[in-house]
Amino acid sequence: MTATTARLPRRRGASIRRGQAVSGWLFTAPVLILLGLFLLIPVLMAAWVSVSDWTGRGSPLSPDVHFIGAANYGQVLWAGGLSERDFGTALKNNFWYVILVVPIQTIVALALALAVNRRMLRGRGFFRTAYYFPSVTSSVAITVLWLFLFSTTGAVNAVIAWFGVKGPNWFNEPAGIFHFGAVNGPVALESNTLLGVSWWDWLGGPSVAMTAFIILAVFTTGGTFMLLFLAALQNISADVEEAAMVDGANAAQRFFRVTLPQLRPTLFTVITLGLIGCWQVFDQIYTGTRGNPSKTTLTPAYLSYTAAFNNQQWGQGAAIAFILFVIIIIFTLIQRWVLSEKAVSKRRMGWITRAERSSTAQSPKATGHVAIVGASRNGSGSPEEDDS
Amino acid sequence: MRFTKAGAVVLAAGLAVSLTACGSGFSSGGSTQDNKKPLSILIGSSGDAETASVKAEVAAWSKTSGIKATVTVASDLNQQLAQGFSAGKPADVFYLSTDQLAGYASNGSLYEYGDKLTNKSDFYPSLVKSFTYDNKLVCAPKDFSTLQLIINTELWKQAGLTDSDIPTTWDQLTDVAKKLTTGSQTGLVIGGEYARIGAFMTQAGGNLMNADSTKATADSDANVKALDYVKQNLAAGDFKFAADVGAGWGGEAFGKQLGAMTIEGNWITGSQTADYPSVKYKVVPLPKGPAGAGTLQFTNCWGIAADSANKAGALSLVQQLTTKSDQLAFAKAFGVMPSIQSAASEWKKEFPALVPFLDAAAYAKGVPTAKGSADVVTDFNSQVAKLSTGDPKTILSSTQTNLDALLK
């Protein structure tokens, strides 16, 4: 850059590229401006609000608003007051929601996709539409439907009654499902707390009311993710499966060792989207229970909303949103690490080469197929390829 | 992505421009007053009847004053109010609840016009207390409601009870509740929340906070006594919470005859006529507790925004909306009780069956209004829902701690 001798030829080349750069910026400008205006600036302003004493009146950038450091974060994380307990409760509720919804909805979606992908299934189109239907229905409508289905005298309890069991009072039952009806826990669990919530409550699982929301989430998003899995399944070449069949792999082996490894990128997408969506659950709570019964359906997203809009604690509301953001990032990173391609361990590698050697010795014909199966196990698309 | 210097400059300039644009948009409004500027009124309506009658009264005022005014019904009043204040363009006049008052008064969002009202002395003193912040009446009470005992007269007769059995003490209430409990029907079904159980607290001489909401009194012996009484009756099965019989609130349980009695406010008349017209009922005063008669009252006020461009007009509108004639018109349209004492006798003549509600104005206590108290009440509610297995003292002492934290 500084060398004067190189200037002349460089400039000529640069001028051509500069024209490209300008038009490049010009073409991307609408999106950049939109993203900046509606995403970047609001996020930056929210970040500022989370460390300020803004009270919700006038501009947060006005000189009357002061920087107060981590005080808002302190209120919800370590101050020991009601705000911390509320946040702990919300986190506990949402944690169980995520832990149960993400795996169940992924398995259900995969199972549905496998079912409607079968070539011999009659009326596949009908089933594909039917399973996808809840996903395109408004979440408010489904929540209202759920409130009816799961009312004390609703359809769900009527069905349960056929088996001679009295159904629970779903949306009014705050008891944790893993407490199994026990009211008080061991003193050690009751007296020690994390974020103002006792370990007994942390371990209690979702409340019966939250369980109804968990079922709702699986019901609605199962169809969406089924579609993703279906698309991935249809991309898998039938040759590989046939090759595995020729090798004598049974159905379970074919699924776990041939199909599933090839679905890894989709699995990554589905779990990531599931994690993010589950940590941000809001609509159902807002339209359904508003945190009741006994705060067992309170979630951080809903808490952030009430803190800001109902209690004028804008700083706290923004702080909760940013903590939620960090939690989502951490969970996604963990998930990315768990699902990442790991080098095949020595023990396994030894097992593969031994298998190969013995099969070469016994039947030379099969060698090629083992190689294909091996390739499909180790060489399927990596997550990095998929989401870049 | 390669970031060129020119691009970075353009982007930074764009950000700066839009940020300043935001800033100017946020801070505008409020300073210049114009007596003819149109007013916007934001209300949280209970239904078409309320909307229509507020619109009619506002239109009548517009005609005489010559100031245009539009009434907007909020789908979520708290949220829309908050949005208005943060954008610097709030509605000029709006409904404001007691639990929202302190938050908005403390950040200067509200025009404190109470002392300018010509009919200030006519409002019930307890209502004035509810809307007093820093020793100043902030806004004019719009109307109010109180809780009383609602009795299903047919179930009452079936249980062999007469008018002389109407309970006047806690023991008598337990007695009749026991007699009225048969099969799927419970004697008394109420909402499991402070806004109903609080009535028992006041009858025992307690409440969560003192009348000015300057001191937390949650862990008083009176409150323990009240919760103990409710807990005993829950344990005996004579009282039940609405949620536990599968109803959304006391009125629904009462209408569906899951409960023979309930504790609700004057709003119950509207829902009973609309949803359960065949259920015959009667309103009687709540029984007296160890400390005499007591109940809770709920109220809203007409808030005026400090950022309003026409505060004089807004004040004149509120003055009109709180007159006897307007308040009686509202009462006829949607069953509220006037906030001024001079309208009492006419209201009682108009609604003889509901007289106990208005009589309660003499002894009713307000709900806590300290900033952040709504959260504490929500927390109290979440614990009281499990009162049948919970410990009243533990519940009240945690509430005391939370309330104390608000006053620091």
- Report ipTM for this prediction: 0.79
Q: Which of B314, B313, B291 is nearest to B304 (CA)?
A: B314
- The answer on pLDDT for A354 being more than 90 is no
pLDDT tens digits for range A186-208: 777 777 778 778 888 888 889 88
Residues of B in contact with A293 (CB under 8 A): 243, 382, 385
Phi first, then psi: give them for residue A312, nearest 5 degrees.
55, 25
Q: Which of B244, B264, B271, B268 is nearest to B186 (CA)?
A: B244
Distance CA A324, CA A301 (A): 8
Are A308 and A76 a contacting pair, CB within 8 Å?
no
- The answer on pLDDT for A384 being more than 80 is no
Interface of B to A at Cβ within 8 Å reads 4, 6-7, 10-11, 14-15, 18-19, 22-23, 26-27, 78-79, 82-83, 85-86, 88, 100, 103-104, 106-109, 243-246, 372, 374-376, 378-379, 382-383, 385-386, 389, 402, 405
Are the beta carbons of A294 and B382 separated by less than 8 Å? yes
- Residues A4, A7, A11, CA angle at the centre, nearest 5°? 160
Look at the alpha carbons of A357, A363, A368, A373 in this order and tell me if their dihedral is positive or negative.
negative
Q: Where are the alpha helices (DSSP H) in chain A?
A: 7-35, 41-50, 71-77, 82-117, 124-136, 139-149, 155-162, 187-191, 199-202, 208-235, 238-246, 251-253, 260-262, 264-279, 283-287, 300-305, 314-339, 346-362, 367-378, 383-387
CA distances from B164 to B89, B151, B214 (A): 57, 13, 41
* Beta strand segments in B58-133, E: 69-73, 93-97, 132-133
Distance CA A289, CA A144 (A): 10
- The answer on pLDDT for A250 being more than 90 is no
Distance CA B291, CA B203 (A): 6
Distance CA B79, CA A306 (A): 9
The separation between CA A296 and the C-alpha centre of its own chain, rounded to angstroms, equals: 20
DSSP secondary structure string for all residues of B275-291: H-TT--EEEEPPPBBTT
- Rounding to the nearest 10 degrees, give the CA dihedral for residues A106, A109, A111, A112: 170
The C-alpha of B203 sits at a distance from chain A's nearest C-alpha, in angstroms, of 26
pTM for the full model?
0.80
Q: For residue A31, give the amino acid letter.
A: V
More confident residue, A374 or B65: B65
Q: Average pLDDT of A308-329? A: 90
Q: Which of B78, B86, B68 is nearest to B44 (CA)?
A: B78
Are the beta carbons of B375 and A33 separated by less than 8 Å? no
Q: Parallel, antiparallel, or unpaired: how do β-strands B69-73 and B93-97 relate? A: unpaired
Q: For residue A234, give the amino acid letter.
A: Q
More confident residue, B225 or B1: B225
What proportion of chain A, given as a percentage, has pLDDT over 90?
19
Token pair in block for residue B303: 């808030």
Q: Average pLDDT of A100-108? A: 93
Residues of B in contact with A56 (CB under 8 A): 82, 85-86, 107, 109
Are B139 and B301 a contacting pair, CB within 8 Å?
yes
Residues of A in contact with B243 (CB under 8 A): 169, 172, 293
Contacts of A351 (CB under 8 A, 6+ apart): none
Token pair in block for residue B318: 């509120």
pLDDT tens digits for range A269-302: 899 899 888 998 998 899 888 887 888 899 999 9
Q: For residue B25, give the amino acid letter.
A: G
pLDDT at residue A245, rounded to an integer = 85
pLDDT tens digits for range A64-79: 888 888 888 988 888 8
pLDDT at residue A301, rounded to an integer = 93
pLDDT at residue B146, rounded to an integer = 92
Distance CA B340, CA B141 (A): 9
pLDDT at residue B18, rounded to an integer = 46
Confidence of residue A256 (pLDDT cuts 50, 70, 90): confident
pLDDT at residue A224, rounded to an integer = 87
pLDDT tens digits for range B69-96: 899 999 888 889 888 888 888 899 999 9
pLDDT at residue A14, rounded to an integer = 56
Q: For residue B41, give the amino acid letter.
A: I
Q: Average pLDDT of A345-356? A: 73
Are the beta carbons of A61 and B15 separated by less than 8 Å? no
pLDDT tens digits for range B159-180: 888 888 889 999 999 999 988 9
What proportion of chain A, given as a percentage, has pLDDT over 70?
86
As a residue count, chain B comes to 408
- The answer on pLDDT for A369 being more than 60 is no
Neighbours of A289 (CB within 10 A): 23
pLDDT tens digits for range A210-231: 999 999 999 888 888 988 998 8
Look at the alpha carbons of A234, A237, A241, A244 in this order and tell me if their dihedral is positive or negative.
negative
pLDDT at residue B29, rounded to an integer = 43
pLDDT at residue A362, rounded to an integer = 56
CB contacts < 8 A, A to B, total 111
Residues of B in contact with A41 (CB under 8 A): 15, 18-19, 22
Residues of B in contact with A294 (CB under 8 A): 382-383, 385-386
pLDDT at residue A15, rounded to an integer = 63
Q: Average pLDDT of B109-133? A: 88
As beta bridge partners, residue B90 has none
pLDDT at residue A62, rounded to an integer = 79
The C-alpha of B356 sits at a distance from chain A's nearest C-alpha, in angstroms, of 32
- Which of B2, B78, B107 to probe by mutation at the A interface, max A CB count within 10 Å? B107
Q: Parallel, antiparallel, or unpaired: how do β-strands B39-43 and B69-73 relate? A: parallel
What proportion of chain B, given as a percentage, has pLDDT over 70?
92
pLDDT at residue B307, rounded to an integer = 86
- The tokens 């952040």 sit on which residue? B372
**Mean residue pLDDT across chain B:** 85
Q: Return the DSSP state at B367.
A: P
Q: Average pLDDT of A96-125? A: 86
pLDDT at residue A96, rounded to an integer = 93
- The answer on pLDDT for A16 being more than 60 is yes
User: CB-side exposure of B181: number of CA atoms within 13 Å?
Assistant: 18
Are A57 and B86 a contacting pair, CB within 8 Å?
yes
Neighbours of A149 (CB within 10 A): 18
Confidence of residue A152 (pLDDT cuts 50, 70, 90): confident
Confidence of residue B16 (pLDDT cuts 50, 70, 90): very low
Are B358 and B344 a contacting pair, CB within 8 Å?
yes
